Amino acid sequence: MNAAPDCGPLAGLRVIDLGQVYLGPYCGLMFALMGAEVIKVEPPGGDSIRGIAGGRENPAAMMLNSSKQSVTLDLGSEGGRSALLALADSADVLIENFRPGTMEKLGLGWETLCARNPRLVMGSGKGYAADSVYRDAPAMDFPIQALTGLMSVTGFPDGPPVKCGAAITDFLGGIHLFGGIMAALHARGATGRGDFVQIAMQDVTHHALASNIASYLLAPDGFADRAGNSQAVLKVAPYDLFPARDGQVAIMCLNDRHWQQLTRAMGRPDLAEDPELAAGPARCARRAQVDGWVTAWTSSQTRAEIFAALSSAHVPGAPVRTLAEVVSDDDMRARGMIHDLPHPDLGTVPVPGLPMRFAAHPQVAPIPAPTVGADTARILAALEQDLPSAQSKDTY
Amino acid sequence: MNAAPDCGPLAGLRVIDLGQVYLGPYCGLMFALMGAEVIKVEPPGGDSIRGIAGGRENPAAMMLNSSKQSVTLDLGSEGGRSALLALADSADVLIENFRPGTMEKLGLGWETLCARNPRLVMGSGKGYAADSVYRDAPAMDFPIQALTGLMSVTGFPDGPPVKCGAAITDFLGGIHLFGGIMAALHARGATGRGDFVQIAMQDVTHHALASNIASYLLAPDGFADRAGNSQAVLKVAPYDLFPARDGQVAIMCLNDRHWQQLTRAMGRPDLAEDPELAAGPARCARRAQVDGWVTAWTSSQTRAEIFAALSSAHVPGAPVRTLAEVVSDDDMRARGMIHDLPHPDLGTVPVPGLPMRFAAHPQVAPIPAPTVGADTARILAALEQDLPSAQSKDTY
């Protein structure tokens, strides 16, 4: 049994988390890490993310479901539906990211839930909005990246579009859904009534392209969709990845002050004093030469040495790190952003800590994610619900 | 003068938005579009994003600051500081994403603001956390993408790392900051006390890499950092971009059911019936052949025809759209996700609508962003603050 921590800004809230894979579970994770009681409701076979890696449980299941409890229900059975209704009656928040129409098909749509528990806030995350022309299209991160243009602005000018390697539209969706639910809870404080909050991955991803769309609007005719690791519109240089002895570093001179500071870090006062290099457009026009000077400096040093020199000189830049390096980051552990938690089969898993810091609430370490259905009997007994007999269906 | 809408779940809240560029302003935009009164405080020369495009105002300034009011203050002057303190005294929320230490240097740190207004929730968004070893490094989206590994998982296996083309770490940061502030406001409902909420772009981006990190943990030795437009670890196919008559389409068969459905859409029952193609690993091993069959189908049709066929067959997929196509999307306009608002110099700008839908609150159209300082006199007069005389410094 996993008990919710007894502190945190959301202590006292009860959340029913029907989330699957990334979007819903990440939204529920925010509630759990902030101290709410989060009950993850899974089909008897578990959230599909658990099994996606074949024989072993996917570590992502553990990373996104810490500090939650697990109840398994076959929502397609009368007993499962009745138990879910009792859970929703007892809750402040219900989260779901099933495919469109699933909750209604199960007889668990907003009208039904709200009629029974008018204080409930229901949050639904979908790929496309319910009133979108694309509402019937199956949506996952990859097609959403295609449709929103995120893919078209990623990659090199002479290469094809490429997806952002992270399932970024799922996580953008999950955290927008969290924000929307919190706004509805705020309003409930005044009205006493809950609300139905909906977000679409298409919409939140579109909004995250605001800087790209602005660049396009400034120069629609000459707009190069993809800029690789450089800047699409601004006439600035250097702005790219540069080789280090042990990998690559990102260096950006967004303005002329950055260039002055970079030349200092490079030990090249001659470049700083050259009036023909003082302005971004001039450096941009001589980009191969400028990049060559920077490369001459970076290629003889390690990424750490370059990063330290850039930081001292107030030039934006950082090492390009692999996931292997990120996963073993000691600083993330020291700051409570990664917790190494034990898993029955996987050994330890690096589990995310709450990414918000609150001065009024101590950081609370996550509790390992529950095994499938670990809390079913206890939680249903507390609701005076019989344990549903038929727990066979794995999906709805 | 821009009046805040009189409805929305956050009506009645007053927010002081010191945000600059993307992170802080996107956080403030969520408050503004949900009905809070948001006062954008800018240096006399305006938020630096306004001027970044040279002679013309950057459309991004308008896209991220609609439905706000604008007050210009030189926070380095005594009059400006005093006016900001009066604003913070009157507010529920204060948002800032200056470089670390700026608020303290201005005498506007959390200790000062909280001592005067204990109900205030202050939200700070930074690149690196205050307790990070990198806290002194200048942080922007590009280096954060490098350091977090987001860049290392983006691009093709035989090519270099490439940034996600959107300033995604800024927007992830802004919406996490909004969520954290809302959680602190929720807690204030019980305690009566505000809080200091901090997020770091490094941390929220790390968490959005959960699926990639899980893939790495499952196969650390053979992990290919970048998978282009395919799947890094799962043995699935087809999963890629395919050529259409008028561009490209993304098609993914995450499971064998998707493959069965795709063959139906392709009119190839022979492939559906071939037992040697039934399982993902088998299709993956014959990927060139499988992709060839899909290409033969896609290349004779338009993206729209393929998208319709995929949707009918319940196969995840979508057209790869350019920003030019996204910007002219009629459906986004019909659904209130893009509003064409007038700008004094730029003509009309496609301004984002609130990406959350609330059943209990009607959608409210955004009001055009204010010009720099448009509301200074009125708002300071209401606080019985003298108009600061020295309004000269453009940055802090």
pLDDT tens digits for A68-120? Answer: 999 999 999 999 999 999 999 999 999 999 999 999 999 999 999 999 999 99
A170 is catalytic: yes
Domains and CATH numbers, chain B: 14-207+328-382 (3.40.50.10540), 255-315 (no CATH)
How far is A165 from B153, CA to CA, in rounded Å? Answer: 5
Count CB atoms within 10 A of the CB of residue A60: 26
Residue ranges of B 326-345 with Cβ closer than 8 A to chain A: 326-327, 331-332, 334-335, 337-338
Please, where are the H alpha helices in A95-225?
102-105, 110-116, 141-148, 168-191, 201-207, 210-218
CB A52 to CB B129 under 8 A? Answer: no
Amino acid (1-letter code) at residue A98: F
Give the CA angle between residues A46, A51, A54 to the nearest 5°. 160
Per-residue model confidence (pLDDT) at position A86: 97
- The answer to whether A326 contacts B149, with C-beta atoms less than 8 Å apart, is yes
Percentage of residues of chain B with pLDDT beyond 70: 95
Of A142, A256, A328, which to mutate for an interface test with B (greatest number of B Cβ within 10 Å)? A142
CB-based contact, B304 to chain A, within 8 Å: no
Distance from CA of A148 to the nearest CA of B (A): 7
H helix or E strand, kind and range, residue B200? strand B195-200
Q: Would you tell me which residues 367-396 of chain A have a C-beta closer than 8 angstroms to some C-beta of chain B? A: none
B53 touches chain A (CB under 8 A): yes
- In A232-337, which ranges are E strands? 239-244, 247-252, 317-319
State both tokens at A248.
């690559």
Residues 103-142 of A with CB under 8 A from B: 110, 129, 131-134, 136-140, 142
Which helix (DSSP H) or strand (DSSP E) does residue A14 occupy? strand A14-17
User: For A209-229, what is the mean pLDDT?
Assistant: 91
Q: What is the mean pLDDT of residues A350-377?
A: 96
Average pLDDT for B322-349: 96
Enumerate residues 188 to 227 of chain A having a beta carbon within 8 A of any beta carbon in chain B: 189-191, 193-200, 203-204, 206-214, 216-218, 220, 223, 225-227
User: Of B167, B163, B120, whose CA–CA distance to B23 is shortest?
Assistant: B167
Spatial distance between the Cα atoms of A202 and A224, rounded to a whole number of angstroms: 23
User: Is residue A395 predicted with pLDDT exceeding 80?
Assistant: no
Which sign, positive or negative, has the C-alpha torsion A300, A305, A307, A309?
negative
Cis peptide before A238 (omega within 30 of 0): yes
Catalytic position from the list A92, A170, A291, A375: A170
Selecting among B170, B195, B291, B375, the annotated active-site residue is: B170
Tell me the pLDDT band of B319, cut-offs 50, 70 and 90.
very high
Amino acid, single-letter form, for residue A378: R
User: How many residues would you count in chain A?
Assistant: 396
Task: Pick B280 or A393 by higher pLDDT.
Answer: B280
Q: Is A359 on the interface with B (CB under 8 A)?
A: yes
Pairwise CA distance, residues B199 & A358, whole Å = 9
Question: Rounded to the nearest 5°, which phi and psi values hold at B329?
Answer: -70, 115
Phi, psi for A236 (deg, rounded to 5)? -130, 150
Residues paired with B195 in a beta bridge: B121
Collect all residues of chain A within an 8 Å Cβ-Cβ radius of residue B170. 211
Does any CB of chain B come closer than 8 Å to the CB of residue A155? yes
pLDDT for B335 equals 97
The overall average pLDDT reported for chain B is 93
Residue A219 vs residues A223, A225, A234, B56, B319: alpha-carbon distances, Å? 6, 11, 11, 12, 24
Give the ipTM: 0.96
In the predicted structure, residue B56 carries a pLDDT above the cut 90: no
Mean pLDDT across chain A? 93
Q: SS3 of B231, please? A: coil
Count CB-CB contacts under 10 A for residue A307. Answer: 23
- So what's the pLDDT on residue B181? 98
**Contacting residues for A28 by C-beta, under 8 A, at least 6 apart:** A15, A17, A19, A38, A40, A65, A68, A95
**For residue B371, pLDDT beyond 50:** yes
Phi/psi-derived region of residue B35, left when phi > 0, alpha when psi is between -120 and 50, beta in every other case: left
- What is the pLDDT confidence band of residue B1, given thresholds at 50, 70 and 90? very low
Task: Write down the pLDDT at residue B278.
Answer: 95
At residue A388, the pLDDT reads 64
Mean pLDDT, to the nearest integer, of A190-212? 97
Q: Provide the sign of the torsion angle of the four alpha carbons A86, A87, A93, A97, taken in this order.
A: negative
pLDDT computed for residue B104 by the predictor: 97
DSSP secondary structure letter of residue B77 = S
> For B135-144, b where at least 16 C-beta lie within 10 A, e where not — what string?
bebbbbbbbb
Indicate if the alpha-carbon torsion angle B218, B223, B224, B226 is positive or negative: positive
Residue B387 confidence (pLDDT): 64
Measured at the CA of B325, the angle between CA A223 and CA A284, to 5 degrees, comes to 10
Collapsing DSSP to helix, strand or coil, A351 comes out as: strand
Of A191, A229, A352, the CB nearest to B207: A352
- Say how far apart CA B239 and CA B259 lie, in whole Å: 10
Query: Do B39 and B379 contact (CB within 8 A), yes or no?
Result: yes
pLDDT at A7: 81
- pLDDT at residue number B261: 97
- Cβ-Cβ contacts under 8 Å between A and B: the total is 475
Overall average pLDDT of the A237-257 stretch: 97
To probe the interface with A, which of B13, B153, B172, B186 has the most A CB atoms within 10 Å?
Answer: B186
pLDDT computed for residue A4 by the predictor? 43
A124 vs chain B: nearest CA distance in angstroms? 10
Contacts of B182 in chain A (CB under 8 A): 179, 182-183, 185-186
A31, A37 contact by CB (below 8 A): no
Q: What phi-psi label fits residue B87: left (phi over 0), alpha (psi between -120 and 50 degrees) or beta?
A: alpha
> Chain A contacts of B142, Cβ < 8 Å?
229, 239, 250, 252, 316
The reply to whether residue B318 touches residue A186, judged by beta carbons under 8 angstroms, is no
Render pLDDT for B246-261 as a digit per residue (tens, 0 to 9).
999 999 999 999 999 9
How do residues B82-100 score in pLDDT, each as one tens digit?
999 999 999 999 999 999 9
B69-to-A183, B17, B104, B371 alpha-carbon distances in Å = 21, 10, 25, 9
Q: Is the per-residue pLDDT at B263 higher than 60?
A: yes
Count of C-beta atoms within a 10 Å radius of residue A286: 14
- Nearest residue, CB atoms, A167 vs list B198, B211, B326: B211
- The answer, yes or no, to whether residue B55 has pLDDT greater than 90, is no
Confidence of residue B71 (pLDDT cuts 50, 70, 90): very high
Identify which has the larger pLDDT, B7 or A154: A154
Q: Which of residues 59-78 of B touch A (CB under 8 A)?
A: 59-60, 63-64
d(CA B248, CA A146): 9
pLDDT of B5 higher than 80: no
What pLDDT score does B89 carry?
97
**Helices marked H in B228-337:** 256-266, 269-273, 280-285, 287-298, 303-312, 323-327, 330-334
Pairing of strands A69-72, A239-244: unpaired
Q: CA-CA distances (angstroms) from residue A104 to A113, A396, B175, B298?
A: 10, 11, 29, 34
CB A140 within 8 A of CB A127: yes
Lowest mean pLDDT among A59-68, B48-57, B221-230: B48-57
Q: Where are the beta strands (DSSP E) in B49-151?
A: 69-72, 93-96, 121-126
Greater pLDDT, B5 or B81:
B81
Distance of CA A272 to the CA centre of its chain: 41
